[in-house]
Amino acid sequence: MDPRLASALAAFCCLLWGSAYPAIKTGYELFAIGTADIPAKLLFAGLRFAAAGVIVLAYCLVTGKSIAVRGKGEALRILGLGLAQTAIQYTFFYIGVANTSGSKSSVVNSTSTFFSAILAHFLYADDKLSRRKALGCAVGFLGVLAINWSGELLFEWKFMGEGFVVIAALVISAASLWGRKLSRRIDPMVLTGWQLLSGGLILAGAGAALGGDLGPWSLGAGLDLGYLALLSSVAFTIWTILLRDNKVTAITIFQFLIPVSGVLLSALFLGDSILEWRYLAALIAVSAGIVLVNSGAAKKAS
């Protein structure tokens, strides 16, 4: 895949994931989900991802692509990926976010980029963590710190807060690399559809079993949930293909755009002010980090 196209698609995926932040906050309001109501949040997330899986699998059927799973071994691998990448990861993430601030969550969750780079260094001979890549990751992380800087110290630490967010970042990094391996044996769209559906059903089942309940349904609530499902189906499918066809660090570095775009889009749709130096500093730093990590690939392509 052409590096420029891959970069554009990776940025598009992260823009979609960034838009999930204001959409989720809006969904919490529309479904009357309280701040500490973890079961309802798990149910909400599970319905979102299960619906996303249905969208992907339905698209496969409409386009004439078989969604049949070949054998028990393949079914178990897909179920395991859905359990890890969607169910386990988001369980840790939602509990962690509920026990810490939003700014800390976005900073700590950005460690997934570092985890991906480190794991790729040991798993792939052609994706070693060079000084340039390490510097790019560090500069990108500084951008995430900048956009969340509010003058408060980040040294307070709770295991079920920041600790759970770190675990979620590690799980999604490892699961994404596992998905990269599976996508070379299973069609990426079929893999994405089944893992989203299975992981979403596990999340929804856990939320319901714990007493989770969503507030009154309305047209706005349904549209919000539908948008979240659609963005997940599109973003996860493209991301799986990108990881299959490109070096891990060249793609995962774009994840630093998620908190940046999330803050900017939240400001746009939720009315927060963005006329501060930290937003410009964050965009510059994240962009510089992406350029540093991908500069080698760009030179090679040219």
pLDDT-based confidence at residue 301 (cuts at 50, 70, 90):
very low
Q: How far is CA 250 from CA 1, 9, 290, in A?
A: 12, 12, 8
Selected residue with higher pLDDT from 235 and 159: 235
List, in order, residues 6 or more apart from 94 with CB less than 8 Å away. 38, 41, 42, 45
Token digits of residue 99: 């026990």
Q: The pTM is what?
A: 0.82
Residue with tokens 């769209």: 189
233, 52 Cβ separation under 8 angstroms: yes
Q: What's the total number of domains in the chain?
A: 1
* pLDDT averaged over every residue in the chain: 82
Query: What single string gives the DSSP state of each residue in 130-174?
Result: -HHHHHHHHHHHHHHHHHT--S--S----IIIIIHHHHHHHHHHH
pLDDT, tens only, 56-109: 999 999 999 999 888 888 899 999 999 998 999 888 888 887 776 655 666 677
pLDDT-based confidence at residue 148 (cuts at 50, 70, 90):
low
pLDDT at 101: 60
Mean per-residue pLDDT, 21-42: 87
Tell me how far apart the alpha carbons of residues 285 and 288 are, in angstroms, rounded to a whole number. 5
Mean per-residue pLDDT, 7-24: 87
Token digits of residue 90: 């988001």
Mean per-residue pLDDT, 40-63: 94
pLDDT at 282: 67
pLDDT-based confidence at residue 147 (cuts at 50, 70, 90):
low
pLDDT at 128: 80
pLDDT at 25: 81
The domain in which residue 96 lies consists of: 3-301
3-state helix, strand, coil in the chain (%, to 5): 80, 0, 20
pLDDT, tens only, 150-169: 555 455 667 887 788 889 88
Selected residue with higher pLDDT from 59 and 17: 59
pLDDT at 299: 47
Does residue 274 carry a pLDDT above 60? no
Mean per-residue pLDDT, 184-190: 90
Mean per-residue pLDDT, 12-16: 89
Selected residue with higher pLDDT from 284 and 43: 43
* Percent of the chain predicted with pLDDT > 70: 83
pLDDT at 18: 82
